Structure 1
Amino acid sequence: MSSRVHIARPASGGYQPDPHGFANSRPSSGYRAANPDDPIEKIRAFARTAEDQIDIYTQPLKPHLPAVGRFLIVVTFLEDSLRIVSQWGDQLWYLQKHRHFPWGLSHLFLALNVVLMLAGSGAVITKKHTEYAVGGLLSVVIMQAVGYGLIFDLNFFLRNLSVIGGLLMVFSDSMYTRKTLFAGLPTLSETDRKKYFLLAGRVLLIFLFIGFAFRGKWSIGRAFVSLVGFAACTMVAVGFKAKWSAAFLVLVLSIFNVLINNWWSVHSAHPQRDFLKYDFFQTLSIVGGLILLVNMGPGGLSVDEKKKTY
């Protein structure tokens, strides 16, 4: 039996360029190359180029972002603990006179807050026992909201939601694999836990900007900044271009924090000074949470991550 394959030739003996009929003269309905003259495609190309350039020039900063973010997140707790110690008598007077705390309970309340804030902040900065540190700082947020009677203050409530979001970002950043405590029971993996905490953290972070947008007098400039900021907040919440929208919010909040909450320009005896200082350091904490988001990315439950999959 011969191994040679017989190839049929056309009867006319001429050259046939496609003897097997593989060519298809019909236009393809599948993927087509992008049109470089399309305005949307030009914007995408510019955005990709800008992202590449920013990545190149910010490389020296990236190793320091987690430490900066963690420090900024707890700076409001450090400032608050210093204020309680330096204004101990005034704090006791307020709790006993206006909040009707018994004499011993008011002292215990303030001392517990100071200890938890200092210990928790130190643990977050050094990345030691982060789970316990975040739990302690969360308990401080709740205790102060109830103890000082600010739980129904909308601005305080929104700001503290953002602070909680920053603490959840710290928890996600420091999450590690733990052994299962109860064998045989269904548990979430480290990756699953981290993506859910990241989702909750980035959603809670944007509440500060919502509070800012609805506070104060309106103007054309304020309306424009609020609109652009709301768009960036939405992108952070859904995880679309989350790193760049979070970086934009870091820039905007930092500028407005210096311009609006400039407590250093107010006389030390003026009552408004303490309120401005409180707002200033709380905003710094939320900026720290956004910096951690820039460093870590939005996580698995985000549009950015789904785009990689599909």
Structure 2
Amino acid sequence: MTATTATTIPATTATTSGQDALSFLGRALIALLFIPAGFSKIGGFAGVTGYIASKGLPMPAAGAALAIVVELLIGLMLLAGFKTRFSALVLAVFTVVASVVFHNFWALQGAQAMAQQQAFFKNIAVVGGLLVLMAFGPGGWSIDARGRKR
């Protein structure tokens, strides 16, 4: 396919019910990473704050509170398909930052390095899924799609 051919294919926003179901399932599975993590941070706030402080970050309590808000609120927004592109962007940035700070495998050795490298690249794969949601939107089973139909 040439560049000229690619530009003549019309873009479509219509989706099939199968695509809508898969888009919802994909959003739900990605949200499943964030929403329970946000809830667990509430119950373990002191531990989360201590862990953030151990990484040398300033204002660890504020960082823990921000993580809870992002994981819960933005995770729920993603699940519902509300402001999906914005939600996906926020979660992607959050995930990249958290991966660099908390899974810095390049500073470790041996088994620790291997475990952190695996966690880092799994997170980067999640970022890839979030970028796809940014590019293509939430699908038809979403609050965003309902807003477009009105």
SS of the residue 1:206 aligns to: helix
Q: Deviations over 1:50-89 (max 9, x none)?
A: xxxxxxxxxxxxxxxxxxxxxxxxxxxxxxxxxxxxxxxx
In the alignment, does 2:48 pair up with 1:206? no
Whole-Å separation in 2 of the counterparts to 1:262 and 1:209: 20
Using the alignment, how far apart are the partners of 2:69 and 2:75 within structure 1? 10
Decide whether aligned partners of structure 1 residues 261 and 250 sit closer, same or farther in structure 2, where only a CA change above 3 A counts. Answer: same
Are 1:255 and 2:97 matched, yes or no?
yes
Aligned position for 1:192: 17
Shift of residue 228, structure 1, vs aligned partner: 2.7
Q: Deviations over 1:168-190 (max 9, x none)?
A: xxxxxxxxxxxxxxxxxxxxxx7
Structure 2 Cα separation of the partners of residues 239 and 211 of structure 1 = 18
Q: Which of the residues 117, 122, 141 maps onto 1:301?
A: 141
RMSD value, Cα? 1.7
CA offsets 1:238-264 (integer angstroms, 9 cap, x no match): 011000010110001001100000000
**Would the alpha carbon gap of residues 230 and 245 (structure 1) be closer, same or farther in structure 2, given more than 3 Å must change?**
same
1:151-176 deviation per Cα after TM superposition (whole angstroms, max 9, x unaligned): xxxxxxxxxxxxxxxxxxxxxxxxxx
TM-score norm. by structure 2 comes to 0.73
Q: Which residue of 1 aligns with 2:48?
A: 218
Which of 103, 112, 115 lines up with 1:272 in the alignment? 112
Instruction: Identify unmatched segments of 5+ residues in structure 2.
Output: 1-14, 50-60
Cα distance in 2, alignment partners of residues 204 and 252 from structure 1: 17
Aligned equivalent of 1:285: 125
Structure with bigger gyration radius: 1
Cα distance 1:276–1:211, how it changes in 2: closer, same or farther (>3 A)? farther
User: Any unmatched runs of 5+ in structure 1?
Assistant: 1-189
Aligned residues: 119
Question: Residues 211 and 238 of structure 1: is their aligned pair in 2 closer, same or farther, counting only changes over 3 Å?
Answer: closer
Moved over 6 A (4+): none
Give the TM-score normalised by the residue count of structure 1: 0.36
Corresponding residue of 1:245:
87
> What is the identity, as a one-letter code, of the residue corresponding to 1:235?
M
Residue 297 of structure 1 deviates from its aligned partner by: 0.2
Question: Whole-Å Cα distance in 2 between the matches of residues 211 and 280 of structure 1?
Answer: 19
